[in-house]
Structure 1
Amino acid sequence: MKDARLRLVIFDVDGTLVDSQADILSAMSAAFAGERLPMPHREQVLGIVGLSLPEAMLRLAPDRDEAVRARMVAGYKDAYMTLRARSGVAQSSPFYPGARAILDRLGAVPDVLLGVATGKSQRGLDKLIEGHGLQGVFVTRQVADHHPSKPHPAMIEAALSETGVDAQDAVMVGDTVYDLDMARAAGVTAIAVSWGYHPPDTLRHADAVIDAFDALPGVLNTMWGTVI
């Protein structure tokens, strides 16, 4: 690298690093069935991925009272954990092509730190990290349990504080407008991936859009100079 400044690459999880849509859709179906409510369309459900579960349920079932939505959140969590336990993390939330390779490549650069900012719970993220053998990869892990829902910038602000990295030296990599808006609010660069749960034409306000993980190093090198 040209200088000794630390850089931070923060990743979203669902829809960015792993494809967990099958279990998300099944768990959401169970949550709605538990209240005898019709399941929203697939696009609606995938459209809320990245939000905290209470915010997601508010958007999917706005006409239901808080107690009903709280039961739906609990039902979703129970169903998701059951599905994952049945099939295992590697099958229920497989890596997107190139995801593990880019984590290994970036993690090998001395002055580049890796982090996560996700709508998952602490328990959910811990299980995913264990199942994929990602222990020690992420130096900062921000989850929905401890922050307002995306696009509030709290997750990124906490990641910057924990790592001591300046906002100008950090990027957020995600697949939804919530990720991009969170990055903007925190003053960090927003990089969108085109393979996730929000349509690519909704991600045009990103600072960069990549169609494959092997394009990420080039984008970072352009932003930071020769780094990787």
Structure 2
Amino acid sequence: MSELRLVIFDVDGTLVDSQRDILAAMAAAFGSQGLETPPRERVLSGVGLSLPETFLRLAGEQGADIRARMIDAYCTAYADLRQAHGPESSPFYAGARETLDRLAGEPHTLLAVATGKSRRGLDRLIEAHGLEGMFQSRQTADDHPRSPTPRMIRAALDETGVTARRAVMIGDTRFDVDMAHAAGVASIGVAWGYQPAAGLSADRIIHDWAELAPALDDLTETTS
């Protein structure tokens, strides 16, 4: 029997496309303080960080109290949008759900999440898409700082008992790749996410979920 391997997924921009509601909630957050919303590219470049880190990047010139109010406004707007849109608030990218189901059915593969989402946000997304029991480890921004610290990935490794050489991080941003490198695990970048694939410096870049299986087998030295 093959040694267990761990496949760790980022969420927004990798498994699901949440940009419509992210951008709308960000506009509400900046508007709540009478500020101009940053351009789309700048907003999406921070997806993957925790909200305090995101607003520090986007509104660092504002005081901490103003940023705190902006975070509250963002969370309220995002929750309202999620309630209004249901699962379509964060629709799967084509092939993502089928990929999760296939990997979950492999006896030698465990799945995990490492995301800049809050635990509440991740739990609600999992509930909305019927993913209960899919992930053996859920690491969120509530419990760990984001990239480049390796704490999320190391916690997932500790929780599952999988060694770093048998783990892969899959994401769409440099934050995901840097976190993987810091933890000593391999990385796969997806070309459909919120940051240009050319700048990710991942061990592999995939352009379709169909390319994932051979990349995983190669990086974890798995043979069929």
Which residue is equivalent to 2:71? Answer: 73
The DSSP-based 3-state class of the residue aligned with 1:64 is coil
Letter in 2 for 1:71: R
| Structure 2 counterpart of 1:175, from 154, 172, 175 | 172
Report deviation, 1:5.
1.4
CA distance in 1, matches of 2:4, 2:223: 11
The DSSP-based 3-state class of the residue aligned with 2:61 is coil
Letter in 2 for 1:165: V
Which residue is equivalent to 1:85? Answer: 83
Q: What per-residue deviation string (whole Å, max 9, x for no partner) do you get for residues 109-156 of structure 1? A: 101000000010111001100000000000000011011122321100
Which residue is equivalent to 2:215? Answer: 219
Percent identity reads 58
CA distance in 2, matches of 1:123, 1:12: 16
CA distance in 2, matches of 1:143, 1:14: 12
Letter in 1 for 2:146: S
Which residue is equivalent to 1:186? Answer: 183
The DSSP-based 3-state class of the residue aligned with 1:172 is strand
Count of residue pairs brought into register by the alignment: 224
Considering only aligned residues, what root-mean-square deviation do their CA atoms show, in Å?
A: 1.0
CA distance in 2, matches of 1:9, 1:226: 13
CA distance in 2, matches of 1:166, 1:7: 8
Report deviation, 1:214.
1.1
Asked if the contact 2:167–2:220 (Cα under 8 Å) also holds between the matched residues in 1, the reply is: no
Which residue is equivalent to 2:101? Answer: 104
| Structure 1 counterpart of 2:55, from 57, 76, 83 | 57
Which residue is equivalent to 1:9? Answer: 7
Letter in 1 for 2:98: A
Q: What per-residue deviation string (whole Å, max 9, x for no partner) do you get for residues 190-210 of structure 1? A: 10000000012211x110000
1:137-148 alignment, distance < 5 Å: 137-148=134-145
Which residue is equivalent to 1:162? Answer: 159
* Unpaired runs of at least 5, structure 1: none
Report deviation, 1:226.
4.4
The DSSP-based 3-state class of the residue aligned with 1:102 is helix
The DSSP-based 3-state class of the residue aligned with 2:142 is helix
Letter in 1 for 2:40: R
Asked if the contact 1:57–1:69 (Cα under 8 Å) also holds between the matched residues in 2, the reply is: yes
Is structure 2 residue 202 aligned with structure 1 residue 206? yes
The DSSP-based 3-state class of the residue aligned with 1:114 is strand
CA distance in 1, matches of 2:167, 2:218: 14
Report deviation, 1:189.
0.2
Q: What per-residue deviation string (whole Å, max 9, x for no partner) do you get for residues 41-99 of structure 1? A: 0000000000000000000001001111111111111110000001102x110000110
CA distance in 1, matches of 2:33, 2:223: 52
Superposition misfits of 4+ residues, deviation over 6 angstroms: none
Asked if the contact 1:28–1:76 (Cα under 8 Å) also holds between the matched residues in 2, the reply is: yes
Is structure 2 residue 114 aligned with structure 1 residue 117? yes
Which residue is equivalent to 2:124? Answer: 127
